[in-house]
Structure 1
């Protein structure tokens, strides 16, 4: 037995020396045959970023915009920030092969320069609805080469199924704040309006679209039962007490009863794979605020 073992060891050693070239050729052949992703992706908004990550392609992101705050492990990476005020130089600095955004990234000059560069540019039409979020997932999956994404849709459906209807729908007003001097109210066609409806509540303002500056008159007219804000928005006001000092707030039912609900901005507005989670959280927070 010892003699056989020794003979085998010698044979292995000799074959290892004589077949280095052959092994290298086999490895090179395997590497060629096995599909290896070469995507170097820049994502132009938070919804796209979290969708690419949820599809298992987060490692391929080399640059993202400043609204991309989720997932945390991706945010912690030293990636190029190429968002607001982005330039073609900023985009090119991370050497992308694929740039993905939504059609709301409206900068014809920049988009033209990207197309001239020859880099693949994909702009997706985003709809603020549950089905719109699922379509976004499908569209992004097709772009990055992922065929299995039903688990993301199932998670959305499972969260939506947990939303409990209100006996009386609370009127909710979303206020966007960047300090006391920059306050905007969300109207129709905004992700906030859509999320309020999905969560089973009623938007307090339906007279205008998009965002308009907040005025005491609009507050009193809307008279919300609950005021909804980003976590960061309330912080920029110095907390709830700072918000209550804004003219008109204390004249509303929400102000009188201090019914202020806050949520993470990205979770609320992205309308990607976490839309069900966002709607469920809002539903639960509104239920707690109005009970």
Structure 2
């Protein structure tokens, strides 16, 4: 909380000395969402390839992916502010932007409520909208608190399929943070981060539910093909049809739509098994 206050105080002092920025470039989908949620989307002149929501964000000039953005692409948009995730890079590109005199505000990308609050406060203050940011933070916190009051206790497995091979999410991942907020037990809690998941390992975990992303389903050729994948087929979750599919950015963005994401995830985890309903 101390770091949050220092960031907000610093940004507030800058805002007091200068007019609010009118030409903004966003490097990170969750930051782009915050900008639009603050009704400041008209100030965006560009964003990155991870900025998929709202749809208007996809129509802006893009400067590459935020982890490997184009310095030339950013500079060509003549921004008076760049809002960047602390995972934006490479580091040399970030340093070059600052050397060129571009004002850059870097905000944390962590998958925690505190980090989300820092993102909202940081973006809002940098845009000269600190009061709006405070209201948004209060609303998010209230809604998340209400949604986390009752745990689901479902044994859940989060998997992604981007290249034909399953990857499972362990602790210190955004997926694990979402499962924890939903009250589910991550069956891969013993591992750290995202790692390849063998069919044998997945079957031995015997998850009650599987959570995955829409892109993973599309990469698999549809839900039925996903359910037939080695490591998915044969699990209690697949046999019972207990698979929760969510939009990638909604599920993993940890942005201002977090209450919506959490509500959708909990509803999927807590829903009666389709097989049991027959």
- Give TM class, smaller chain: 0.7 to 0.9
1:288 equivalenced with 2:267 (yes/no): no
Partner of 1:252: 235
Q: 1:122, 1:164 → 2: CA distance?
A: 35
**What does 1:190-229 correspond to in 2, within 5 Å?**
190-229=173-212
| 8 Å CA contact 1:80, 1:94 repeated in 2 | no
1:73 equivalenced with 2:88 (yes/no): no
Q: After superposition, give the CA deviation of every residue in 1:125-166 in whole Å (9 maximum; x if it has no partner).
A: 232122321222112222222121233123323432145624
With over 3 angstroms needed to count, the CA separation of the structure-2 counterparts of 1:218 and 1:239, relative to structure 1, is same
**What does 1:163-182 correspond to in 2, within 5 Å?**
163=148, 165-166=150-151, 169-179=153-163, 181-182=164-165
> Helix, strand or coil: the match of 1:100?
strand
> Helix, strand or coil: the match of 2:183?
coil
| 8 Å CA contact 2:140, 2:259 repeated in 1 | yes
The TM-score, its normalising length taken from structure 2, stands at 0.83
Deviates more, 1:256-265 or 1:213-222: 213-222
List, as ranges, runs of 4+ consecutive aligned residues in structure 1 with deviation greater than 3 Å: 35-38
Structure 2: gaps (5+ residues): 1-17
| 8 Å CA contact 1:62, 1:80 repeated in 2 | no
Partner of 1:123: 106
The TM-score, its normalising length taken from structure 1, stands at 0.80
> Helix, strand or coil: the match of 1:273?
coil
Tell me how far 1:106 sits from its aligned partner. Answer: 4.1
Q: 1:246, 1:38 → 2: CA distance?
A: 49
> Helix, strand or coil: the match of 1:212?
strand
Q: 2:87, 2:272 → 1: CA distance?
A: 34
Tell me how far 1:222 sits from its aligned partner. Answer: 2.5
Structure 1: gaps (5+ residues): 1-34
> Helix, strand or coil: the match of 1:262?
strand
> Helix, strand or coil: the match of 1:80?
coil
The size of the alignment, in residue pairs, is 254
Q: After superposition, give the CA deviation of every residue in 1:150-187 in whole Å (9 maximum; x if it has no partner).
A: 33123323432145624x611111111225x2432111
> Helix, strand or coil: the match of 2:130?
coil
Q: 1:289, 1:79 → 2: CA distance?
A: 44
| 8 Å CA contact 2:25, 2:45 repeated in 1 | yes
Partner of 2:220: 237
Q: After superposition, give the CA deviation of every residue in 1:47-92 in whole Å (9 maximum; x if it has no partner).
A: 11011111222111111111111122333x3433432542211222
Q: 1:205, 1:131 → 2: CA distance?
A: 24
Partner of 2:170: 187
